Amino acid sequence: MTVSEALLNELFDAVVAGNVQKARKLAERVVDEGMSASVALEKMMEAMRAVDKKYIMKEYFTVDVAAASTAMREAVNVLAPYLKVRPANVMGKIVIGSLKGNIQGLGKDIVAATLRSAGFLVTDLGVNVSPEAFVDSAVQEKAQIIAISVSVNETVPFLKQVVDLLRERKLSSQIKTVIGGRAVSEQTCREYGVDAYAKDAWEAVEKVKGLLHRKT
Protein backbone atom coordinates (compact mmCIF):
# COMPACT_ATOMS: atom_id res chain seq x y z
CA MET A 1 0.00 0.00 0.00
CA THR A 2 1.34 3.42 -0.97
CA VAL A 3 1.49 6.39 1.38
CA SER A 4 -1.31 8.05 -0.59
CA GLU A 5 -3.55 5.00 -0.32
CA ALA A 6 -2.88 4.77 3.41
CA LEU A 7 -3.79 8.43 3.87
CA LEU A 8 -7.04 8.02 1.92
CA ASN A 9 -7.94 4.97 3.97
CA GLU A 10 -7.30 6.93 7.16
CA LEU A 11 -9.57 9.68 5.86
CA PHE A 12 -12.25 7.08 5.07
CA ASP A 13 -12.04 5.68 8.60
CA ALA A 14 -12.10 9.12 10.22
CA VAL A 15 -15.31 10.07 8.40
CA VAL A 16 -16.99 6.75 9.21
CA ALA A 17 -15.98 7.14 12.87
CA GLY A 18 -17.17 10.75 12.95
CA ASN A 19 -13.77 11.97 14.11
CA VAL A 20 -14.04 15.63 13.13
CA GLN A 21 -10.56 16.81 14.13
CA LYS A 22 -8.81 13.85 12.53
CA ALA A 23 -10.79 14.20 9.29
CA ARG A 24 -9.82 17.87 9.02
CA LYS A 25 -6.15 17.18 9.74
CA LEU A 26 -6.06 14.38 7.17
CA ALA A 27 -7.69 16.66 4.57
CA GLU A 28 -4.98 19.23 5.31
CA ARG A 29 -2.37 16.52 4.74
CA VAL A 30 -3.97 15.71 1.39
CA VAL A 31 -3.51 19.34 0.38
CA ASP A 32 0.01 19.65 1.85
CA GLU A 33 1.20 16.52 0.06
CA GLY A 34 -0.22 17.66 -3.28
CA MET A 35 -2.69 14.82 -3.60
CA SER A 36 -5.84 15.11 -5.71
CA ALA A 37 -8.64 16.79 -3.79
CA SER A 38 -11.13 15.13 -6.14
CA VAL A 39 -9.83 11.66 -5.29
CA ALA A 40 -10.06 12.47 -1.58
CA LEU A 41 -13.62 13.68 -2.05
CA GLU A 42 -14.54 10.45 -3.81
CA LYS A 43 -13.07 8.45 -0.92
CA MET A 44 -15.19 10.41 1.54
CA MET A 45 -18.27 9.77 -0.57
CA GLU A 46 -17.50 6.07 -0.20
CA ALA A 47 -17.26 6.61 3.54
CA MET A 48 -20.68 8.26 3.68
CA ARG A 49 -22.17 5.40 1.68
CA ALA A 50 -20.71 3.05 4.30
CA VAL A 51 -22.29 5.19 7.02
CA ASP A 52 -25.67 5.07 5.27
CA LYS A 53 -25.40 1.28 5.06
CA LYS A 54 -24.63 1.06 8.79
CA TYR A 55 -27.66 3.25 9.49
CA ILE A 56 -29.94 1.09 7.34
CA MET A 57 -28.60 -2.03 9.10
CA LYS A 58 -29.30 -0.30 12.46
CA GLU A 59 -25.62 -0.46 13.37
CA TYR A 60 -25.56 3.36 13.47
CA PHE A 61 -28.03 5.80 14.97
CA THR A 62 -28.87 9.38 13.99
CA VAL A 63 -26.16 10.75 16.28
CA ASP A 64 -23.55 8.59 14.50
CA VAL A 65 -24.66 9.78 11.07
CA ALA A 66 -24.55 13.39 12.30
CA ALA A 67 -21.00 12.92 13.59
CA ALA A 68 -19.86 11.41 10.27
CA SER A 69 -21.58 14.23 8.39
CA THR A 70 -19.80 16.84 10.49
CA ALA A 71 -16.44 15.14 9.95
CA MET A 72 -17.00 15.13 6.21
CA ARG A 73 -18.13 18.76 6.20
CA GLU A 74 -14.91 19.83 7.91
CA ALA A 75 -12.80 17.89 5.44
CA VAL A 76 -14.78 19.23 2.46
CA ASN A 77 -14.26 22.79 3.72
CA VAL A 78 -10.49 22.19 3.58
CA LEU A 79 -10.58 20.62 0.12
CA ALA A 80 -13.17 22.90 -1.53
CA PRO A 81 -10.74 25.63 -2.73
CA TYR A 82 -8.67 22.97 -4.50
CA LEU A 83 -11.71 21.60 -6.35
CA LYS A 84 -12.35 24.85 -8.16
CA VAL A 85 -11.38 25.18 -11.80
CA ARG A 86 -10.16 28.11 -13.82
CA PRO A 87 -12.98 30.21 -15.29
CA ALA A 88 -11.74 29.48 -18.81
CA ASN A 89 -12.47 25.79 -18.26
CA VAL A 90 -15.90 26.25 -16.69
CA MET A 91 -18.54 23.95 -18.15
CA GLY A 92 -21.42 25.99 -16.80
CA LYS A 93 -22.58 28.16 -13.89
CA ILE A 94 -24.69 26.85 -11.05
CA VAL A 95 -26.26 28.37 -7.96
CA ILE A 96 -26.89 25.87 -5.17
CA GLY A 97 -28.50 26.00 -1.76
CA SER A 98 -30.77 24.29 0.75
CA LEU A 99 -34.38 25.38 0.30
CA LYS A 100 -36.19 27.64 2.76
CA GLY A 101 -36.82 25.72 6.00
CA ASN A 102 -33.86 23.40 5.44
CA ILE A 103 -30.95 24.14 7.76
CA GLN A 104 -28.88 20.99 7.14
CA GLY A 105 -26.25 21.66 4.52
CA LEU A 106 -24.02 18.60 4.38
CA GLY A 107 -25.58 17.02 1.29
CA LYS A 108 -25.56 20.36 -0.45
CA ASP A 109 -21.90 20.88 0.49
CA ILE A 110 -20.95 17.52 -1.00
CA VAL A 111 -22.85 18.19 -4.23
CA ALA A 112 -21.30 21.66 -4.55
CA ALA A 113 -17.80 20.26 -4.10
CA THR A 114 -18.44 17.47 -6.58
CA LEU A 115 -19.81 19.88 -9.19
CA ARG A 116 -16.73 22.08 -8.79
CA SER A 117 -14.46 19.08 -9.25
CA ALA A 118 -16.36 18.25 -12.45
CA GLY A 119 -15.59 21.68 -13.91
CA PHE A 120 -18.59 23.82 -13.00
CA LEU A 121 -18.50 27.29 -11.45
CA VAL A 122 -20.65 27.01 -8.33
CA THR A 123 -22.11 29.77 -6.16
CA ASP A 124 -23.19 28.33 -2.80
CA LEU A 125 -26.08 30.28 -1.28
CA GLY A 126 -25.99 28.31 1.97
CA VAL A 127 -29.05 27.02 3.83
CA ASN A 128 -32.62 28.24 4.38
CA VAL A 129 -32.64 29.92 0.95
CA SER A 130 -35.92 31.50 -0.20
CA PRO A 131 -37.33 30.83 -3.69
CA GLU A 132 -36.79 34.50 -4.57
CA ALA A 133 -33.13 34.34 -3.51
CA PHE A 134 -32.53 31.31 -5.73
CA VAL A 135 -33.95 33.03 -8.80
CA ASP A 136 -32.43 36.45 -8.09
CA SER A 137 -28.99 34.91 -7.54
CA ALA A 138 -29.23 32.81 -10.70
CA VAL A 139 -29.97 35.96 -12.69
CA GLN A 140 -27.19 37.93 -10.99
CA GLU A 141 -24.62 35.16 -11.49
CA LYS A 142 -25.86 34.44 -15.04
CA ALA A 143 -26.25 30.81 -14.02
CA GLN A 144 -27.81 28.17 -16.23
CA ILE A 145 -28.75 25.86 -13.36
CA ILE A 146 -30.41 26.21 -9.95
CA ALA A 147 -29.60 23.23 -7.72
CA ILE A 148 -31.85 22.84 -4.68
CA SER A 149 -31.37 20.57 -1.67
CA VAL A 150 -34.52 19.54 0.22
CA SER A 151 -34.33 17.34 3.31
CA VAL A 152 -37.48 18.46 5.17
CA ASN A 153 -40.79 17.15 3.82
CA GLU A 154 -42.82 20.15 4.92
CA THR A 155 -40.72 22.52 2.80
CA VAL A 156 -41.16 20.67 -0.51
CA PRO A 157 -44.07 22.94 -1.63
CA PHE A 158 -41.66 25.91 -1.77
CA LEU A 159 -40.33 24.33 -4.97
CA LYS A 160 -43.49 25.52 -6.72
CA GLN A 161 -42.52 29.11 -5.98
CA VAL A 162 -39.11 28.63 -7.60
CA VAL A 163 -40.65 27.14 -10.73
CA ASP A 164 -43.41 29.79 -10.85
CA LEU A 165 -40.93 32.65 -10.48
CA LEU A 166 -38.86 31.34 -13.38
CA ARG A 167 -42.00 31.11 -15.52
CA GLU A 168 -43.24 34.56 -14.51
CA ARG A 169 -39.90 36.10 -15.44
CA LYS A 170 -39.77 34.06 -18.67
CA LEU A 171 -36.54 32.38 -17.55
CA SER A 172 -37.62 28.73 -17.74
CA SER A 173 -35.81 28.15 -21.01
CA GLN A 174 -32.62 29.84 -19.79
CA ILE A 175 -32.38 28.52 -16.23
CA LYS A 176 -33.01 24.86 -15.42
CA THR A 177 -33.70 23.34 -12.00
CA VAL A 178 -32.36 20.19 -10.35
CA ILE A 179 -33.33 18.90 -6.92
CA GLY A 180 -31.92 16.38 -4.45
CA GLY A 181 -32.20 15.35 -0.82
CA ARG A 182 -34.11 12.95 1.39
CA ALA A 183 -37.46 14.74 1.00
CA VAL A 184 -37.66 14.67 -2.82
CA SER A 185 -37.81 12.15 -5.65
CA GLU A 186 -38.56 11.74 -9.35
CA GLN A 187 -42.22 12.05 -8.44
CA THR A 188 -41.52 15.45 -6.85
CA CYS A 189 -40.00 16.57 -10.15
CA ARG A 190 -43.12 15.67 -12.07
CA GLU A 191 -45.46 17.15 -9.46
CA TYR A 192 -43.75 20.55 -9.29
CA GLY A 193 -42.39 20.89 -12.81
CA VAL A 194 -38.73 20.69 -11.78
CA ASP A 195 -36.37 19.76 -14.62
CA ALA A 196 -34.35 16.98 -12.95
CA TYR A 197 -33.81 14.95 -9.78
CA ALA A 198 -30.48 13.52 -8.62
CA LYS A 199 -30.19 10.86 -5.93
CA ASP A 200 -26.56 11.70 -5.06
CA ALA A 201 -23.68 14.02 -5.92
CA TRP A 202 -22.37 11.97 -8.82
CA GLU A 203 -25.80 11.73 -10.42
CA ALA A 204 -26.17 15.49 -9.93
CA VAL A 205 -23.15 16.01 -12.19
CA GLU A 206 -24.68 13.82 -14.90
CA LYS A 207 -28.11 15.46 -14.62
CA VAL A 208 -26.59 18.95 -14.84
CA LYS A 209 -24.59 17.95 -17.91
CA GLY A 210 -27.78 16.60 -19.47
CA LEU A 211 -29.70 19.80 -18.77
CA LEU A 212 -26.95 21.96 -20.25
CA HIS A 213 -26.80 19.72 -23.32
CA ARG A 214 -30.55 20.12 -23.85
CA LYS A 215 -30.17 23.90 -23.69
CA THR A 216 -27.55 24.01 -26.47
Options 3.40.640.10, 3.40.50.280, 3.40.47.10, 1.10.8.100; CATH of 87-215: 3.40.50.280
What CATH class does 3-82 carry?
mainly alpha
Tell me the pLDDT band of 48, cut-offs 50, 70 and 90.
confident
Contact 143, 123 (CB under 8 A): yes
Is the model's pTM score more than 0.85?
A: no
pLDDT tens digits for 66-121? 788 889 888 988 998 887 654 445 578 999 999 999 988 878 888 887 888 777 88
Task: Parse the chain into domains and list their residue ranges.
Answer: 3-82, 87-215
At 107 the pLDDT is 81
At 111 the pLDDT is 87
Tell me the pLDDT band of 173, cut-offs 50, 70 and 90.
very high
Tell me the pLDDT band of 15, cut-offs 50, 70 and 90.
very high
At 23 the pLDDT is 97
pLDDT tens digits for 52-78? 788 878 998 878 887 888 898 889 889
